Amino acid sequence: MTRTPVIAGNWKMNLTKRKASSLAREVAAHHGASTSRRCIVFPTYVHLDHVRRNLRGSGVVLGAQNCWGKKEGAFTGEISPYMLRDMGAQLVLIGHSERRHVFGETDAWIAEKVKIALKAKLEVMLCIGETYEERQASKTYEVLERQIQALKVVQNQYVTKISLAYEPVWAIGTGETATPGMAQDAHQESRRMASDILGADVAEQMPILYGGSMKPSNAAELLRQPDVDGGLVGGASLSIDQFGPILDAVSGS
Ligand code: 13P
């Protein structure tokens, strides 16, 4: 198994320009020139350029939290994946649970975004995950399978540009974390579903990150699971005191 671990910070709608810039410098310094892991930060759109400048020279990758599903046109207030690429973003989160549940994004809409973001030469991190009610009703795999169908739009030339983030909705921002066993089961099953669409070789190489109240105290054990290839961290990515130890957990486990 040759998947490089990935630790990503989703800063959501947080921080000022000054704080985002200084956090970027701290993450860059902490990550250093490490090649044993990949480190990504997802600032809000308006901070992308400042963060990019503060990451310069480091190996930290810049990503955006969302994009629109069209190249350009009359879509007031929206951002094209081509603009993100032009701004220096290398990758984009698509289908984050807040986009699905707060903003009502549908699977069809998400698939459109995946398609155009790849065409714009961005890497895509597709987020999937069940709600508390869906898990209680034993529908977790059914939901993941439905959400993973978005991979059907991925053309052959882009298959290595895709990663998944499994984020159980009930664990996001709640302090509740999936147990390592629950995360492993969901990741293994997601990889199997992805392999039905993209082929076994691609699925085997594809990073699958866990997200949902990851913190220094639980990161190492989650990351030790064979199909958990990294973490997509929300709250704990907003300070280097928390994010630093999570970055280090990949090598320390
Ligand atoms: P928390 O780590 O705050 O639970 O957020 C997870 C998340 O949504 C990352 O995208």
Whole-number pLDDT of residue 253: 39
Cα 212 to middle of ligand 1, angstroms:
5
Q: Whose CA is nearest to atom 5 of ligand 1?
A: 234
Measured CA to CA, the distance from residue 200 to residue 19 in angstroms comes to 42
Instruction: Give the number of residues written for the chain.
Output: 253
Cα 241 to middle of ligand 1, angstroms:
17
Q: In the predicted model, what is the mean pLDDT of residues 27-34?
A: 94
Q: Whose CA is nearest to atom 1 of ligand 1?
A: 234
Nearest-atom index, ligand 1, CA of 172: 4
Whole-number pLDDT of residue 177: 87
% residues pLDDT > 70 (the chain): 98
Distances (CA, A) of 29 to 23, 32, 55: 10, 5, 9
Whole-number pLDDT of residue 2: 79
Q: Is the pLDDT of residue 252 over 50?
A: no
> How confident is residue 175, by pLDDT bands cut at 50, 70 and 90?
confident
Whole-number pLDDT of residue 1: 55
> How confident is residue 93, by pLDDT bands cut at 50, 70 and 90?
very high
Q: Is the pLDDT of residue 20 over 70?
A: yes
Q: At what angle do helices 180-198 and 216-223 cross, to 10 degrees?
A: 50
Q: Which two tokens stand for residue 140?
A: 């977790």
Active site residue: 96, 98, 112, 123, which one? 96
Cα 215 to middle of ligand 1, angstroms:
10
Q: Which of 233, 242, 246 to mutate to test the pocket of ligand 1 (most atoms within 8 A of CB)?
A: 233
Cα 82 to middle of ligand 1, angstroms:
26
pTM above 0.75, yes or no: yes
Measured CA to CA, the distance from residue 192 to residue 178 in angstroms comes to 20
Measured CA to CA, the distance from residue 233 to residue 172 in angstroms comes to 9
Whole-number pLDDT of residue 174: 87
End-to-end CA distance of the chain: 16
* Average pLDDT of the chain, as a whole number: 96
Residue where the block lists tokens 């959501």: 12
Greatest pairwise CA separation for the chain in angstroms = 49
Cα 38 to middle of ligand 1, angstroms:
18
Domains of the chain (ranges; CATH) run 6-252 (3.20.20.70)
Burial degree of 102 (CB within 10 A; 0-12, 13-18, 19+):
exposed
Nearest-atom index, ligand 1, CA of 235: 3
Whole-number pLDDT of residue 47: 98
Positive or negative torsion for Cα 116, 84, 100, 9: positive
Q: Is the pLDDT of residue 54 over 70?
A: yes
Q: In the predicted model, what is the mean pLDDT of residues 193-213?
A: 97
Q: Which of 93, 103, 163, 172 to mutate to test the pocket of ligand 1 (most atoms within 8 A of CB)?
A: 172
> How confident is residue 33, by pLDDT bands cut at 50, 70 and 90?
confident
The pLDDT tens digits of the residues spanning 141-160 come to 999 999 999 999 999 999 99
* 101: annotated active-site residue: no
Distances (CA, A) of 165 to 19, 130, 230: 26, 12, 9
Within 6 A (CB) of ligand 1 lie 10, 96, 167, 172-173, 211-214, 232-236
* 96: annotated active-site residue: yes
Strand pairing class (162-166; 208-210): parallel
Whole-number pLDDT of residue 251: 64
The pLDDT tens digits of the residues spanning 114-140 come to 999 999 999 999 999 999 999 999 999
Q: Is the pLDDT of residue 92 over 70?
A: yes
Are 209 and 249 contacting, i.e. CB atoms less than 8 angstroms apart? no
Comparing CA positions, the residue from 207, 202, 213, 199 lying closest to residue 229 is 207
